[in-house]
Amino acid sequence: MPLDHFVTLGRSGLRVSPLCLGTMTFGEEWGWGASVDESNKILDAYLDRGGNFIDTANIYTKGHSEKIIGDHLGRHSARRHRAVIATKFFGNLYRGDPNGGSANRKSIISACENSLRRLQTDYIDLYWMHAWDPLTPIEETMRALDDLVDSGKVRYIGFSDTPAWKCAEAQTIARFRGWAPLIALQIEYSLLERTVEGDLVPMALDHGLGITPWSPLKGGALTGKYRRGGNVQAGRGERVTAALTDKTYDIVDALVEIAERLGTTPSRVALAWLSARSGVASPIIGARTLAQLDDNLGALDVKLTSEMAQKLDALSVPALNFPAGFLNYVSQVAQGGTTVNGVSAEPWPLSPVTDAERH
């Protein structure tokens, strides 16, 4: 699939590329990441391949990520209007200021103005709440976002890293009050993080939110460079080292084996698996080098067989919170041994009345 075979995002008409370019790696202010020159080359390579979906946040590399995008795209109206630029509010860039971050009206409006300035644009295509703010009423957040959409400074809105029940509440309020609805959900999702399939993914499907997974390779744990018995590189961070369990190594072994059969890389196999999951619109890929970008974009050419996908499914099956496991039995209780919408169920053995007895 080419990068310019676009998909609509959630229950909206916004067309985005099937892989989104994440730019948390743009800038070196955090002690790692890509230089300005390398970041510009990555942007150009992604756009030249037909991509249009770019994701950043106000706090990425202390605001420099947004500025890199603004310097390279915002100053050129034709290039900027072709791109779908998504950024986030919530993060606080100002120590000592309790309203410098969060999801209250004061913070949201200020963060939007500052992001517009750094991005050198008049509008943000998709404005994300970076995480749920339990101290701010969701009505206040949604009304402030609706005002930004009404003003033309924001085109669409979405939530990141927010509980399913709060997303559903926000979407219901927006619908009943005629405010701008959420169109997308950004969550961690990968072969090593599937617990979102308990509540967040079903909620997104029900409420029309296109899913854009972050960390689809779990910080590099799914690239194949960490193998059982090998040495883990120092400085990779607890998120990666904590993920390197026996279960992870079993998944990585399968990724390597499938990649060898297909003549591709484990990273591409992991991304191809994720892209095919229900509700997933555009996984967010990050790259510090052109080589990493090229490897990730190659996932669009990978086609997994049902046997390959099922093998990865089985190795990565998550333990979900109640009532997910219990609900596996409801079809047996409710369907009376019939098939409904392609779902077949055995008759419930405790059913008191057979069809013949009822007549």
Q: What is the pLDDT of residue 142?
A: 98
Q: Does the active-site annotation cover 189?
A: no
Share of the chain above pLDDT 70, in %: 96
Measured CA to CA, the distance from residue 127 to residue 149 in angstroms comes to 9
Q: Which long-range contacts (CB under 8 A, 24 or more apart) does 70-73 make?
A: 70/118, 70/119, 70/120, 70/121, 71/36, 71/120, 72/39, 72/40, 72/43, 73/43
CA 19/CA 4 separation, integer angstroms: 10
pLDDT tens column, 111-141: 999 999 999 999 999 999 999 999 999 999 9
Using 70 as the pLDDT threshold, list the residues of the chain that sit under it: 231-237, 352-359
| CA–CA separation, 262 and 289 (whole Å) | 24
Domains of the chain: 7-324 (3.20.20.100), 327-358 (no CATH)
What type of residue is 134? Answer: P
* pLDDT, tens digit (0-9, with 9 covering 90-100), for 185-199: 999 999 999 999 999
Q: Which entry of 60, 123, 127, 226 is annotated as an active-site residue?
A: 60
| Nearest alpha carbon to residue 59 among 124, 133, 114, 132 | 114
Which pLDDT value is given to residue 243?
87
- The predicted structure's pLDDT at residue 236: 54
Under DSSP, the state recorded for 59 is T
Question: Is there a contact between 248 and 192 (Cβ–Cβ < 8 Å)?
Answer: yes
